[in-house]
Structure 1
Amino acid sequence: MSEIKLAAETRTEFGKGAARRIRRAHQIPAVMYGHGTEPVHITLPGHDTMMALKHANALLTIELDGKKHLALAKDVQRDAIKPVIDHVDLVVVKKGEKVTVDVQVHVTGDAAPETVVTVEQQTVQLEAEATHLPESIEVSVEGAVAGTQIHASDLVLPSGTSLVTDAEHLIVNISQAITAEALEAELAEAEAEAGIEHEEAGEAAEGEAAAEGETEAAAEGTDEA
């Protein structure tokens, strides 16, 4: 994807109080570091940064004091309740430099009927040029039958990338969907192992009839009295 430009300002205030003031001003506190330089504390525009970071592995152009720095979001701290970003760690990168990033696995297609598709690993690590980072990698399960397993080595990688994740790692597993009969049998077996017993339908009916008879007899006795 194309570079996203963000206008940053140098930050001179620190601590929780300063961070709250920055966020109230619709900005985000951040720190930028990398390539042997001292960490630089900055503020970023709140809305523009949130929109930019909706894209995975977004390449950011940070404009600070008349200079431009290419950077990637290394760590994004989000509020546990509100849809806001509390803090961002940025790592400076150079054009042509190779970096390792986590790339989201996106499953496409429909597997064979009566199967269950389980994504065992949500992301894979790829190495790619900093200026050509993929947002996601597609894995097709179209028509896949039960027993199919897709490992990292089976992935079709985006051009210019190489796999960092262990090639043997299981990414997607296709298993047979359990039928209602099989589920009922498993439940019955589990209950038997736990010593849980159920009344037979006939016994339950006899018990109900006996209880009704006792109720009627008691009612008759009351009327006679």
Structure 2
Amino acid sequence: MTSEKITAEVRNEFGKGAARRIRRENKIPAVVYGHGSEATHVTLPGHETMMALKHHGANALLELDIEGTTQLALTKQVQVDHLRRVIEHIDFVAVKAGEKVTVDIALTVVGEAAKETIVTLEQATISVEAEATHVPEGLEVSVEGLAAGTLVTAGEVALPKGVTLLTDADATVVNVAAAPTAAQVEADLEAAEAEAGIVHEESTAEVEAEATEGE
């Protein structure tokens, strides 16, 4: 994982009003915790920071220049206003090169399972321990050629060198199941409608067909 260099400004104004003013200036309020020191409240450039998070994912490592002092900061929480599509606040953890950190890494399913199967990602992330400057941006789980009934566990996910799995190795992360037949889908739909009390009126053609069968 490479770090993005971002120039940060120390901020001394707090509260919702101050945060709104910061965001109106296309900047992002943030805080850096860690290493027994007091939290450092900063303001980050909006576009530059958003692009860094977009490129490096949920565990983006930023190299913050805070008034001439460089601090490696690992992204821990990003608060987003999904309606306005803007970042409202970011929490970072201060880290050092060589330091081990615990992070959740997103899983992506790759490959094609056997025909007539459905692949379900049972767990979107797994927890690992890795060096702060070598945190994987994501991990792939291959289902290439896997047959129905196959379960892929966390212990079977390929990890880069130096990365240690913390999630239970027996935990299921991907389930390859047999695809339901058309009859099963119809039966499930009918059962769901019956449970919901949905009654379909017979069409004219169905009524006439039943009358003909009764003659």
Give your verdict on TM over 0.5: yes
Distance change (3 Å), C-alpha of 1:14 and 1:113: same
User: Which range moves more in the overlay, 178-187 or 24-33?
Assistant: 178-187
Matched, 1:151 2:132: no
Q: CA RMSD in A?
A: 2.5
CA shift digits 1:83-124 (9 cap, x unpaired): 110001111001110001110101100111110000000000
Answer whether contact 1:191 1:197 (CA < 8 A) is retained: no
For 2:207 and 2:114, locate their aligned partners in 1 and report how far apart those are by CA, in whole Å: 43
Question: Does structure 2 conserve the Cα–Cα contact (< 8 Å) formed by 1:4 and 1:61?
Answer: yes
Structure 1 residues 155-208: Cα deviation after superposition (integer angstroms, max 9, x where no partner): 111111000111111100000000112223444566788897986999811788
TM-aligned CA deviation for residue 3 of structure 1: 1.2
The one-letter code matched in structure 1 to 2:126 is: V
Is 1:95 the counterpart of 2:77? The answer is: no
1:26 aligns with 2:64: no
Quote the Cα distance in structure 2 between the aligned partners of 1:124 and 1:58: 16
Q: Structure 1 pair 197/163, CA: closer, same or farther in 2 (3 Å)?
A: same
- Mapped partners of 2:13, 2:206: distance in 1: 78
- Counterpart-to-counterpart distance in 2, 1:18 and 1:76: 18
Is 2:146 the counterpart of 1:174? no
1:8-66 deviation line (CA, Å, top 9, x unaligned) = 01101111111111111111011111000001111001011111111222211000111
Letter paired with 1:176: A
Query: Partners of 2:176 and 2:50 in 1: how far apart?
Result: 36
Q: Which residue of 1 aligns with 2:114?
A: 112
Amino acid of the structure 2 residue aligned with 1:205:
E
**Equivalent residue in structure 2 for 1:129, among 131, 155, 172:** 131
SS at match of 2:159: coil
1:2 maps to what in 2?
2
What SS does the aligned partner of 1:145 have?
A: coil
Runs of 4+ in structure 1 off by over 3 angstroms are 185-203, 206-209
For 1:41, the equivalent position in structure 2 comes to 41
Does the alignment pair 1:204 with 2:214? no
- Structure 2 vs 1, CA of residues 199 and 8 (structure 1 numbering), >3 Å: closer, same or farther? closer
Give the SS at the match of 1:157: coil
Contact 1:30 1:89 in 2 (8 A): yes
Larger Rg, first or second structure (1 or 2): 1
Change (3 A) 1:208 1:46: same
- How many residues are matched? 209
TM-score, normalised via structure 2 length: 0.89
TM-score calculated relative to the size of structure 1: 0.85
